[in-house]
Structure 1
Amino acid sequence: MHNPPDTPQALHLLYEPAGFICAFHFAGGHARQMKWNEVIDYRPHADAFTWLHVKTADVKIQQWMAHHSGVPEHINEFLLSSDTHPGLHMSADSVYGTLTDIKMEIGDTGTEKGALHFYLDSRRLLTLRTQPLCSTNLLRQKVLDGVGFQNSMDLFAKLLRCLADGFNERLDSLNDKVDDIEFSVLSDRRPEDRSELSSIRRQLAELRRFIAPERRILNQFNRLRPAWVPSTAMDDLTHALDELNELHTTVEALYERAKLLQEEIASQMSEQMNRNLMALSILTALLMPATLVSGIFGMNVAGLPGLHDEVSFWVVMGIMGALGLATVAFLKWLKIW
């Protein structure tokens, strides 16, 4: 953050823009919240660093980024772009890229993703987003709660952990749902279990697509190890990578559980259908002799026995019942019923 020149455009920026979300100054492990006029007048100190979080859609923010942020022009273009593809880029003294995060306030039925652009060097962390995201909101709350950070890389590692916490919170919710469905499947299956499992599998597949790029980015960062990053901060980054790896394993395991439960439901449905078909087949077999006899005696032709005998009806009914019992005995002998 650099002092802007004395121009009408710079004076226009003195008024706090709507896209300014928060800014913090860190010194000696303590954080102090900054106002917008402090941000534009701030000069970096050797023993301090800052975090600025803004919205990219604000024109004032775009002007400040372009003329007064001190960020190279090609990096500015990237940070203000609408590119949502996760990635990591490095220069001689900075790191910048895009992280995939979960949007806030989207309900329990989806995991709509959002993009967080970031710029990191030894003196500041700059984050930009278009819509509210879980990770930056969690990080801001931790800073306001008094959590201390020693350097900008330490703060960035905490951002990644907040990112993992957001994923983990959604994963815990899905895990509870899978537990309920598993209990239902093993006891008295509900009709809506199958559709709910399909929804859970879709959400888990989305989470898997979110986490995989973050792991790739962290692995790349951990492998390159920029010279300006303290070794202790790299250890924090390694821990954040371990959390994402563990989260990835949990997602895979929960996805397999949901898949197996769906297969179990399909097996139960198939078994129930087979039982219904068996019952229908047995009923058809039981009625077949009676249908044959009634069909024969229902023919309107001359010479049918018993047409003028009052006992003939009961005789025919007895024959039909006997044939039904014989059919039952035959099915029992075949062990079909």
Structure 2
Amino acid sequence: MPEKSFLILKSNLTASDIKQLTSQWDLDSAIFANLFSQLDHINQKLNAVKRKIDYLDSVARETTKTKELKKVTDLTRELVYLKHTLDDQTESLRSFGEYLKKNQLASSADIASLMTKQAQLTKMIHVYTDLLNSISGLFTAMLDSHLNHLVKYLNSVALIIAIPTLISGIWGMNIGGLPDRTNKNGFWIIITIAAILTIIWAIILKKKKYND
């Protein structure tokens, strides 16, 4: 049997288990069964990853919290490890399958089933990686959207405040010729005018959805 068939794969067999195997057929059968067990374990791991992806996809539409972004990064790293493990394992499985088939230690159907399961898991990892990339992009887009909204809102507030600031600045000049400068109600007149103009300007911005 090619040595590389065992380089990537981890076996659950203990030393005592191997000693109890009475023939090469027993050993190969045990390894073959153990490979199915390993793939089932990876499949369960990927199912857990899928649940995490669904969760992150839902929260990505509502929040941009740093802890959720960290979860995306951690999950992406986990998928990268699984992806490289399966990619490296594929060639070993193919060599092992050819060995079993050549020596008639396993049926072609069982070998095909093993390789199909391996291919399905590899495909799932690629799909989940793409999903995580899209979620990461969604987080980035949401962050940009929130930042743009904040800047737009602050600009709207600045425009609204600019009107009373301009009016008070003009009437606060220490020069002659300003209307109603000697009027005892001049202060309240200026405040009223500034308030009315500010409200009108705020309504205009609201209708234009400038602060949405």
Identify the TM-score tier after normalising by the shorter chain: 0.7 to 0.9
Specify the alignment match of 2:136 in structure 1: 262
Aligned to 1:232: 106
Alignment of 1:1-337 (within 5 A): 94-97=1-4, 98-100=6-8, 135-137=10-12, 139=13, 151-186=26-61, 188-189=62-63, 191=65, 192-222=67-97, 227=102, 229-230=103-104, 232-233=106-107, 235-332=109-206, 334-336=208-210
Would you say how many aligned residue pairs link Structure 1 and Structure 2? 206
Q: Over residues 246-274 of structure 1, what are the superposed CA-to-partner deviations in whole Å (9 max), with x where a residue is unaligned?
A: 11111112112222222222222222222
Please say if residues 64 and 142 of structure 2, whose CA atoms lie closer than 8 Å, have aligned partners that are also in contact: no
* C-alpha separation in 1, matches of 2:100 and 2:107: 10
Q: Secondary structure at the match of 2:2?
A: strand
Structure 1, unaligned runs of 5 or more? 1-93, 102-134, 144-148
Letter in 2 for 1:237: I
Aligned AA (1:100): I
Instruction: Identify the structure with bigger relative contact order (alpha carbons < 8 Å, sequence gap 6+).
Output: 2
Q: Secondary structure at the match of 1:182?
A: helix
* Closer, same or farther: CA 272–152 of 1 in aligned 2, 3 Å: same
Q: Residues 336, 190 of structure 1: CA spacing in aligned structure 2 closer, same or farther, 3 A cutoff?
A: closer
Q: Offset of 1:303 from its aligned partner? A: 4.1
Q: What is the TM-score when the length of structure 2 is the normalising length? A: 0.79
TM-score (normalizing by structure 1): 0.53
Amino acid in structure 1 at the alignment position of 2:175? V
Higher strand share: 1
Deviation at 1:183, TM superposition (A): 3.2
**Aligned amino acid, residue 99 of structure 1:** L
Alpha carbons of structure 1 residues 241 and 99: separation in structure 2 relative to 1, 3 Å = farther
> Structure 2 regions of 5+ residues with no counterpart?
18-22
How much has 1:329 moved relative to structure 2? 4.1
Q: Which amino acid aligns with 2:167?
A: V
Residues 137-175 of structure 1, C-alpha deviations (whole Å, 9 max, x = no match):
3x55xx7xxxxx953322222232233233223323222
Q: CA RMSD in A?
A: 3.2
Q: State the shift of 1:280 in Å.
A: 1.2
- Indicate how the Cα distance of structure 1 residues 245 and 225 shifts in structure 2: closer, same or farther if over 3 A, else same: same
In 2, Cα distance between the equivalents of 1:100 and 1:172? 22
Rounded Cα–Cα distance in structure 2 between residues aligned with 1:332 and 1:184: 29
Q: Percent identity?
A: 18
